[in-house]
Structure 1
Amino acid sequence: MIDDLNPDRSLWHLIAVEVRRQRELHHMSGNQLADRLEVDRSTVSRWENGLRRLGDTYAKKLDALWHTNGLFERLVGFATAIDVGDWMTDLSDYQARATRHRMWETVLVPGLFQTPDYARAALRVGLTNDSERALEQRLTRQAAVLDQPKIPHMSVILNWVVLAQPVGNAEVMRGQLVRLLEIADLPNVSVRVLEREAKEHCGLDGPFHLLTVDDKDIAFDDASMRGRLMLDPAEVQYFAVKYDRISDLATPVGPSRALIEQAMETYQ
């Protein structure tokens, strides 16, 4: 994993490389650093491999330990403040490692649940330069999550528009809704619908994804041009509360299944 880090491309990769460089410069083993910071050895390894982002608290501790004059605190601050360019790579890794997924979708079926035909139709109307390559990447992310020996806990809430908005022809839509029902039958998966009668609610401003990775929640705020990953607990809690409020309005699993089956009948 260390060989895959590119500090010229990502501030988070730079931080990972610098943690290891400073540790070796101070002649410390990973175990020794873990003991000094009172964390697991695996945590240090994940920092250095770029699999876990260094938080502000531990950045300050590293600066104090190695007398780096606020270097790590500044780097973490800059990396957190900007929209880093490798967010999709990070998201894919987090999705594959997550033990719990909570998703809210306003217009489209979640990418993890899309059929190839549905995904292709959705990607072709976008501004991507290579829709087939984007499709291949999407299917790879799906497989990394759904082809695991034990599927993670997944709860998705679909706005009613997802069922009503045609993507591709009727056959494509019908196949996609069949796929949704198949996924809803998988262990640990629930699919619910937020009906039109809910009227205005806090989810109208866009889709998002909550992930539990290494017993810690992170959030991904979707956007038309570029999404944003958030690890800050306050930001993540904002989306967790929003998800709970949307969930309070959503139709239960059984009636939601009936709504999906009813929508299928409109695509003949």
Structure 2
Amino acid sequence: MATKPVPTAELIRAQLRRMRNAAGMSQEDFGKRAHYSGSQVSAVELGQRPLDEVYLARADEIFETGGLFVAMLELAKRDGEPIWFRPWLEAERNATQLRCFHPTLIPGLLQTEDYARAVIRTDSRLTEEEVEKLVAARMERQAILDREHPPQLTAVIDESALRRFADGCEKVMAEQLMHLVASAERQHVSVHVIPASAGLYVGLDGPLILAHSTEAGWVGHLDDQLGGNVADRTEDVETLLAKWESVRNDALPRRQSLDLIKEIVRPWI
């Protein structure tokens, strides 16, 4: 009987444990050298904390592996995302600016784990294992916001997405909105809400993401019912930039947006 392939992320965690033990270091010892707490090291090794480039780069330095763990992380990220999404990941990881708009959901880069799980589970075709794999991959993507030089992220969200308190998911949604507020307080993250009073506007056609890098300029990504596609033709990118400017102009200023989010979540906390 053929054995089931071991996920790359699991191999990374196993190798981290093996090399730490071989070096005679406890989790606390490794944490001190890597500038993490022992509990954080334990969470990484148990899979309770997402792997990220900063953590693995420090492991590479301590174990003198020549960048092996960081290289394996790239494989794990690719393994964890649908094939159609992989081209976009490169643009997202290399971006200095990110602009995302969604009319019905909280954007993936700002989702909590429980909210992401609830959203992904709406696809009844997925097994629980597939759901968890996609959730982990989405959490891994968010590591770009924690790196030393993160991209400047501007998110525009329709008010209706903030009021989607489904039965039984009130706690999940309340935690998501509080996370959104906390994220928006970060210097490199800006969140804007299009109020219900805006009525009809161009963004209701669907979500979009734009990424800008020094080398490649702007590139876009569009979600649809079959997955999504990357838009890099000049005329397509110009169209998305124009649509972005339109939805951004319909949104509230940053402080008013945060006040609205807090008002919406207040009855649930």
Same-fold status (TM-score > 0.5): yes
1:225 Cα shift?
2.2
Other-structure match for 1:142: 142
> Amino acid of the residue matched to residue 165 of structure 2?
P
Which residues of structure 1 form unaligned runs of 5+? 1-84
Cα deviation code 1:7-38 (max 9, x no counterpart): xxxxxxxxxxxxxxxxxxxxxxxxxxxxxxxx
Other-structure match for 2:206: 206
- Using structure 1 for the length normalisation, give the TM-score: 0.65
Cα deviation code 1:68-90 (max 9, x no counterpart): xxxxxxxxxxxxxxxxx833111
1:111-190 superposed matches below 5 A: 111-126=108-123, 127-129=125-127, 130-143=130-143, 145-166=144-165, 169-190=169-190
Other-structure match for 1:263: 264
Cα deviation code 1:91-134 (max 9, x no counterpart): 12211111000111111111111111111111111143410111
**Partner SS state of residue 122, structure 1:** helix
Partner Cα separation in structure 1 for residue 240 and residue 165 of structure 2: 28
> Amino acid of the residue matched to residue 152 of structure 2?
H
> Amino acid of the residue matched to residue 101 of structure 2?
W
Q: Share of identical aligned residues, percent?
A: 28
Check whether the contact 1:103–1:208 (CA below 8 A) recurs between aligned residues: yes
> Amino acid of the residue matched to residue 245 of structure 1?
S
- Kindly report structure 1 stretches of 4+ aligned residues shifted beyond 6 Å: none
Is 1:250 equivalent to 2:251 in the alignment?
A: yes
1:215 Cα shift?
4.9
Of 88, 97, 101, the match for 2:98: 101
**Partner SS state of residue 191, structure 1:** strand
- Report the count of equivalent residues: 183
Partner Cα separation in structure 1 for residue 83 and residue 131 of structure 2: 19
Partner Cα separation in structure 2 for residue 209 and residue 183 of structure 1: 18
- Using structure 2 for the length normalisation, give the TM-score: 0.65
